[in-house]
Amino acid sequence: MITEDAKIGVVGAGTMGAGIAQVASTQGHQVYLYDAYSEQLEKAEQGLVKILNRQVEKERMSQEEVDGILSRIEFADNITMFGECSFVIEAVIEDPDVKKDVFSRLEGIVSKDCILASNTSSLSIASISSALKKPERFLGVHFFNPAPLMKLVEVVPGIATDPEIADTTRDFIQSWDKITVSGKDTPGFIVNRVARPFYGEALRIYEEGIADAPTIDWAMKEIGDFRMGPFELMDLIGHDVNYEVTSTVFKAFYYDPRFKPSFAQKRMVEAGWLGRKSGRGFYDYRNGSSNPEPTKDPELGQKIFNRILTMLINEACDAVFMGIASIEDVDLAMQNGVNYPKGLLKWADEIGLHEVLDRMTALQVQYREDRYRPNPLLKKMVSEGKNFYENEE
């Protein structure tokens, strides 16, 4: 049990680390935010002051609340003070060797009861834990960006994690007014795994010349009620980041064609067209530029939406089939981690699992690619006449 007055350590003062520190401090904890680079600490402090002052301007927080949050965060250039912490989370770059080095150093500083966590979005928890003498107290705790606003946190035990530590951590993070889901230590965990077809199938449709980026985005927003289209979202995330995640998941799954990266996106990265941050991606963000209008053909839009949604549902089925997460946690994760309008498995029930299977089978027959294989759980449930949410009318 981690107490309400527990001290929290955060390693890495980038966007994620600073955001997690803000969340912990808002919940009343004393927080030590550490970074090896003093200029990064200064940047983090200035950023938090700016973000929180904006909350006062918008009358979402009082000045007293903001002053309290900032007073509880100590911007530390020395990691030794983490000896007082009950929970320490790392949010440094996605490099397994760097993370292992962080935790091997931390283990010699923190108390024997301190829980250690990584905010990694897709790296192996088991691999990182190998750097520890006590890997049973280590696990993945994956916040989504921006951490103060995004409700979802994936709690990911490794093969060596003590189940009690996992339960304690999930309860503790929930006390921070977060929605937690438990996922297995596999590439991408829940969200980054299940979400791959949102990008990958959209890119495939684009590469086949079925529709351009604005039309695909229009279909997903207008017909599917998604907040952003896949190309808008990839431009926002950055193609370097999105392509790297896809490539990492593809390699980690032994080159399963379901996760195959796109040449179109690879060329964007090679050209330096990274999206909003570089001024050009699938859309042109430079001053005075204009972008093509979507082709608002309802029949074409429905076909695009059906194909991408079907692939997403098939991937959600696989997450349950392979024991990555429960039905409820998969749906919670996708609604709260990437703001999908509905849980994918709930959506599948509404469409009808037989219809979803027919759509997947049609894609498989058309392309004769393993990429489009219907999930065994989906086929089994259709053959048995079952739904994911059996008790609902």
Question: Active-site residue numbers?
Answer: 121, 142, 154, 192
What does the angle CA 306 – CA 221 – CA 319 come to, to the nearest 5 degrees?
55
DSSP 162: -
Which residue is it, tokens 């004769």?
368
Tokens of 260: 């195959």
Contact 320, 377 (CB under 8 A): yes
CB 166 within 8 A of CB 2: no
Burial class from Cβ neighbours inside 10 Å (0-12, 13-18, 19+) for residue 82 reads buried
How many whole angstroms separate alpha carbon 314 and alpha carbon 316?
Answer: 5
Q: What residue type is 112 in one-letter code?
A: K
Beta-bridge partners for 155: 141, 182
Distances (CA, A) of 62 to 56, 57, 128: 6, 9, 41
